[in-house]
Amino acid sequence: MRPRSLQCVTGGHISKDEFESLLMLPELDAYSRPEEPQQPSDTQLSATATYCSIPSNGHQKFVLHLMERKYSPHAVSKADQISTIHQCSVAIPFLKRSLVQSSDSPVEYRVSHTAWLREESHPVLPKIVQRISDVTGLYTTQGPLNNTAAEDLQVLSYGIGGHYFEHEDYFWKGYAEETWPSFSEKYDHYPSGDRMATWMFYLSDVEAGGRTAFPKAGVSVVPVKGSAVFWYNIKKNGVGNAMSQHGGCPVLLGHKWVANKWIRENWNFQRRPCSLNPDD
């Protein structure tokens, strides 16, 4: 995996001065509804083009201070409350060695520790989950595994040398379509649908290493405390998005803390309508 820095380049619809001013945008009051900027068409963007905008997803209380958009991933603005997860040590008592779906024992290609937090674990967690919903426009309500819009918050701790080889977050949408029903029958939590999207908070800075790399997209993201990355694992036609393959590069110096929220597809089929276009 040879990561390349995530770059933000204007797509023709926003000037350099306007772009720089985005960094200083205040939150809007509850009665001010921002106007959505016109986004460039697919023909104006290459498969790896990144462009900047100030979308609000129709939310009347705020605009995102800066959004670097890419087909995969989206780098988004910070949520003020996320430091609570780390600073208050909410997750530390629950940390265990990270596992993978295919093994009940730790594997060498995933070296980290994991804790799962339900929304009732701390008063700030429901606010964080609501923030994710506000920004993405998706349902993120936590419920039973067989009927949930999103999974519990997963907190991950990577010490020096901690890493995770490249992988996809979806369960079965990378397999042939005729095999999908067998997965639903085998696992009782699959009726909620596959992991449609991933939201990843960065809870700490990392002195060296620790990037999130998307090798097929040719991009990597530097961990910056208070920031987040969001991407879709599944295309609108229901097929797995190969460009979402990602991995955690080794931490060379420092300690990396992240928190993932996996958003399921069945609750969100109206929030993100289906499409027959394989490129959507």
pLDDT in tens, 16-41: 343 333 333 333 333 333 343 344 44
pLDDT exceeds cutoff 70 at 50: no
> Of the ranges 15-19, 176-180, 184-188, 245-249, which one carries the lowest mean pLDDT score?
15-19
**Looking at residues 80-96, what average pLDDT do you find?**
70
101 — pLDDT class (breaks 50, 70, 90): confident
160 — pLDDT class (breaks 50, 70, 90): very high
Q: What is the pLDDT of residue 191?
A: 75
pTM of the model: 0.74
Q: At 20, list the tokens.
A: 């720089």
216 — pLDDT class (breaks 50, 70, 90): very high
Residues 222 and 205: their CA atoms lie apart, in Å, by 9
Q: What is the pLDDT of residue 96?
A: 93
In sequence order, the 6+-apart residues with CB closer than 8 A to the CB of 55 are 36, 37, 39, 63, 64, 67
Residues 101 and 119: their CA atoms lie apart, in Å, by 23
Give the CATH H-level superfamily of domain 78-268. q2cbj1_9rhob like domain (2.60.120.620)
pLDDT exceeds cutoff 50 at 224: yes
pLDDT exceeds cutoff 50 at 233: yes
Q: At 72, list the tokens.
A: 């995969």
Q: What is the pLDDT of residue 9?
A: 27
Residue % of the chain over a pLDDT of 90: 39
Locate the domains of the chain by residue range: 78-268
Please write the tens of the pLDDT for every residue from 63-72.
Answer: 544 444 443 4
Q: What is the pLDDT of residue 254?
A: 96
242 — pLDDT class (breaks 50, 70, 90): very high
Q: At 85, list the tokens.
A: 């997860």
Q: What is the pLDDT of residue 90?
A: 77
Long-range contacts of 138-147 (CB under 8 A, 24+ apart): 138/196, 138/197, 138/263, 138/268, 138/271, 138/272, 139/263, 139/267, 139/268, 139/271, 140/261, 140/263, 141/267, 142/118, 145/188, 145/189, 145/192, 146/188, 146/189, 146/191, 146/192, 147/191, 147/192
Q: What is the pLDDT of residue 264?
A: 93
Residues 116 and 99: their CA atoms lie apart, in Å, by 12
182/38: higher pLDDT? 182
Q: What is the pLDDT of residue 127?
A: 85
Which amino acid, 27?
E
**Looking at residues 255-260, what average pLDDT do you find?**
94
